[in-house]
Chain A
């Protein structure tokens, strides 16, 4: 039984047919990556899983329960967290308030909450130094860390990451990928959307290639790195 599964999902923006029947499954403990060029439908897939978009056909299953018509705040409660594209930090709230909002569904006086917070601040020491700073004044990299940390604060069983390396300096990209691996090694299931295909595939167990709203390839990450078409189109290798 897959932890999270999309079955023949069609999602539309009005008349625009953005997802044309995609099927994806993610097993517990995996890192699965979704690669594809701009406009392929990667973010749309994550928004559909999180309930921000409702598919017109097909289903989304979490632990064998249908969630495709469940509102987003309920889906969070069921254990799916997303660090959205463009980070979407609450700019006029402090770093700590952003993290507290991640824990909105939990009691912020509980031991468990403090343990979560401590863990996030240990993963991202730069955030600890900036807890009182307004989210909008963080650098891009720091905002990315905050977005991931905030998603972790919801205490998810699946973490959806939408282009966590976007706009980051190479050192920081390296660091973010290491952190994703670390989070995964602690038991978190991760669905990783990336432009940075090589790095994503190098930490993932499996991968899907999305093109114009359809899955064109699906394989183990190692096999995808070796795949000629992937090398040409996404890894910039000839």
Chain B
């Protein structure tokens, strides 16, 4: 149809108004904050009640439980954002292909290694310690995102696309194979370079942790601390979530991604190059995973070729928890899981008189949740209809 019709008087706007745009971008973040607040309050209350009950035998339990609570919440937020950023990669790919990319944990790990490698080189050149911390973060994260994104795109091209029309189990097995290949390839590279199997992630000096508050406990004060790296992690994760929401909900590419997710054949009838969109989905998901890997490695100071496995599984749990295929759900699932883990890790040993060490049971908590959700609410916390799927 040509443009011979004269411009209509009242045209139907295809451009969203600014208000609508802000709504689609910030509404998911609002939901996210609601879940952060909700998880913190609910779990905090449980802790208060439990410790109050237990303090009849031992009054110190209550004091200690309350004193460490703010720190546990911060820990939960940091873990939560870690799972959330990785979970986005699973959920985007699932949304578009209904396929679980089990190699995504390795994409995350590669990001960590690339970050450590860049840091190593910067150190070799003698410029690491003089680099402003923020600039260092930006450089390593951008390089990590690029490499991980391209790698994810490459794995799709090599290991998944040829199997696109095979039975569903086949690409899944290919993904598991890809995950092993990536682990061992990185191990090969790492052990044959000065990085080593357990590679140190050097950083410039980030400065001292910020003290948010001090909680009196007896005659001492317990400080509530948040490290600068954790702050950077949270800020970076929030920025990525915002950018992703903008991309998916407000751009032409985002519309194409959603169309491909909903009906691949029909999307191609609209002139959308489906393979290209799938590649870009892997690129974006991989880049997010890579960024998470860099930030995670930076946070804990060391990376190894197998470090992607457990966080990958947990992020997968988070994605299922939130409703797989649902972007907001992945973030929410990550946050809720992060909180649960932080609480179990910190309080289990306190509440059981040291009989169970919390840290080692945190994984059990995480995976029990996966099993429970799969049994009782397979559609996830946010369900099918309530929010945006990809």
Contacts and interface: CB of A to CB of B under 8 A. Distances in A.
Contacts of B374: none
Task: Give the interface residue-count category, chain B.
Answer: 20 to 34
B8 A114 contact: yes
B252 interface: yes
B366 to A, nearest CB: 30
Given A76-B269, A150-B270, A96 B14 contact: yes
Contacts of A155: 1-2
The listed residue with most A CB atoms (<10 A of its CB), out of B11, B262, B266, is B266
A93 B268 contact: no
B12 A121 contact: yes
Interface residues of A, number: 44
A189 interface: no
Among all A-B residue pairs, the 3 with the closest Cβ atoms: A112-B3, A76-B271, A72-B268
Given A90-B266, A93-B258, A115 B271 contact: no
Interface string A34-64: 0000000000000000111000000000000
Contacts, number: 107
B270 A118 contact: no
B7 A71 contact: no
Given A105-B271, A112-B3, A92 B262 contact: yes
A92 B273 contact: no
A102 B14 contact: no
A71 B11 contact: no
B27 interface: no
Contacts of A84: 265-266, 269
Given A73-B268, A100-B14, 12 more contacts: A72-B268, A88-B265, A90-B259, A92-B389, A93-B258, A101-B270, A104-B252, A104-B270, A104-B271, A115-B4, A116-B1, A118-B12
B274 interface: yes
A91 B385 CA distance: 11
Interface of B: 1-5, 7-8, 11-12, 14-15, 252, 255-256, 258-259, 262-263, 265-274, 388-389
Contacts of B266: 84, 88, 90
Nearest to B389: A92
Contacts of B269: 50, 52, 72, 76, 81-82, 84, 88, 151
